[in-house]
Amino acid sequence: MRATKSIKQKIPQNHDLDSMMEIFRNMVNHCIKIGLKHNCSTLKKLSILSYHDLDSQGLVTSYKLNTISQACGILAKHKKLIRKGKNPKIPHVTRPFLTNCYGFKINNSLMSIPYKPRQPINILLNDHTQKILSDPTLTVRSFTMTGLNISICVSKETEKIECTKIVGIDRNLRNVTVGNDEKVIFYKTNKLLSIKQNTIFARAGFKRNDHRKKLQYYKNLQQRLQNRTRQFLHKISKQIVGDALTNKTVIAFEDLKGIRKMYRKGNNQGNKYRKKLNGWQFYELQRQIEYKALWVGIPVVFVDPKRTSKLCPICGERIQEDRQNRRKLLCINCGKSMDRDVIASMNIAHKAWSRFTHARDDTGEATSELFSRMMEPKSSCYGDVAIQIVDVSKCGWKG
Ligand SMILES: [Zn+2]
């Protein structure tokens, strides 16, 4: 398997780079125009149509194919939207950027980017980037520049780790539950809600009658919110992938789809409730875990979220809501009451196990040890689960 990652660093202001980014943007827009005119979005066809037009723009030849491929991506997205019956705007790149996968070199602390024939621009890489790039197993694939940032894309070949167990991850608004029938870990995410709430207060606190300043202020706040949320989730995802690597476990997720549709206007929900749930970044944790797990060779699988918190993980019977505590669920058959997130994570692990470790033909026989153990009614099963609660905001780890 090939795993990819990118390293981002700041670069000092450089007029030559700025002009290159501006030219690159114009070239992409030029290609988009040609693509729209001839109604094509394939690399081959667009290359034939626009390759020689790009000669006069002033960039080195190595950038030309990248421009065309960028334009192809944008055109394909545009076509897809039209196919879906939407009415998208005419595509146009507004921000200057530069990307290339040919002709650049990295030599210890210097990265040279083609600028004019035999006259490259050198960029000084910082210690962090140098440290990562010093790994001989990595291959540098491309770089992208936007504003004062450069990201270098690296990839490596990873080998899949043979796993013996599986953990299910249940994502909720206030916690992330990771577990199987042996151990359950709760990661509290209450902090994310308070970060979000603080941002809303800060937005409301802007009183100046200046539309331009207001937009800038909102944009900065949004960026800060995103950075803080990501940083917080990075701590959790790092811990989860680290645990999975030491215990050799497969990670199973619910394949959540259509979450935003559930909290639309007109669904008989309150304004505040909808705002809270629509601000929930459920996908970010999955994205981080997916790439981190791929990087170390841990498989990530997805299961259908249907009925994960409706069936008992021990006997498979339908369970009821506990009347005393709404976060708990009660199984009449086993006579046990358990937290609904613990049940969900156990069910996800169970579902993934039965689906991905057995071929579909012999599902009739419960061959695996875990499967048979989970199927036999065992009253002490819930008692065996060790539950650990982790509050990331109080831990001193660096993400
Ligand atoms: Zn039961």
In angstroms, the CA 51 to CA 67 distance is 10
Cα(382) to centroid(ligand 1), Å:
10
Which among 197-211, 346-360, 371-385 has the top mean pLDDT?
197-211
Long-range contacts of 43-49 (CB under 8 A, 24+ apart): 43/68, 43/69, 43/72, 46/71, 46/72, 46/75
If you measure from the C-alpha of residue 127 to the centroid of ligand 1, how many angstroms do you get, rounded to a whole number?
55
Region 119-148: what's the mean pLDDT? Answer: 92
Distance 87 CA to ligand 1 centre (A): 51
314 Cα: distance to centroid of ligand 1 (angstroms): 5
Instruction: Say what the pLDDT of residue 397 is.
Output: 45
How far apart are the CA of 76 and the centre of ligand 1, in A? 50
| 324 CA distance to ligand 1 middle (Å) | 19
Separation of CA 320 and ligand 1 centre (Å):
10
Which residues line ion ligand 1, judged by CB < 5 Å? 312, 314-315, 317, 331, 333-334
Q: Are 351 and 167 in contact (CB under 8 A)?
A: no
Rounded Cα gap, residues 75 and 79, in angstroms: 6
Q: Please write the tens of the pLDDT for every residue from 226-269.
A: 999 999 999 999 999 999 999 999 999 999 888 888 888 888 88
Residues comprising the chain, all counted: 399
Alpha-carbon 351 to chain mean position: 23
CA distance 134 to 53: 39
Q: According to the model, what pLDDT value does residue 339 have?
A: 85
- Residue with the two structure tokens 């981080």: 288
- Measured from the Cβ of residue 193, the count of other Cβ atoms closer than 10 Å reads 14
pLDDT at site 358: 61
Residue 365 Cα distances to 67, 125, 371, 375, angstroms: 55, 57, 10, 11
pLDDT at 41 over 60: yes
- 362: pLDDT strictly greater than 50: no
CA of 366 to the centre of ligand 1 (A): 18
Give tens-digit pLDDT for 156-195. 999 988 888 899 999 988 889 998 888 889 899 999 999 9
DSSP string, 143-175: EEEETTEEEEEEEEE------SEEEEEEE-SSE
Name the residue among 329, 330, 315 with its Cα closest to residue 374.
315
211-247 vs 282-296: helix crossing angle, rounded to 10? 40
164: CA distance to ligand 1 center in Å?
A: 25
Rounded-to-integer distance, Cα 145 and Cα 135, Å: 23
> In this structure, what are the phi and psi dihedrals at residue 30, rounded to the nearest 5 degrees?
-60, -45
Task: Report the first-to-last Cα separation within the chain, whole angstroms.
Answer: 26
- 3-state SS assignment for residue 4: strand
Beta strands in 231-352 (DSSP E): 249-254, 300-303, 320-321, 328-331, 336-339
Q: How far is the CA of 377 from the centre of ligand 1 (A)?
A: 7
Distance of CA 334 from the midpoint of ligand 1 (Å): 4
384 or 308, which is more confident?
A: 308
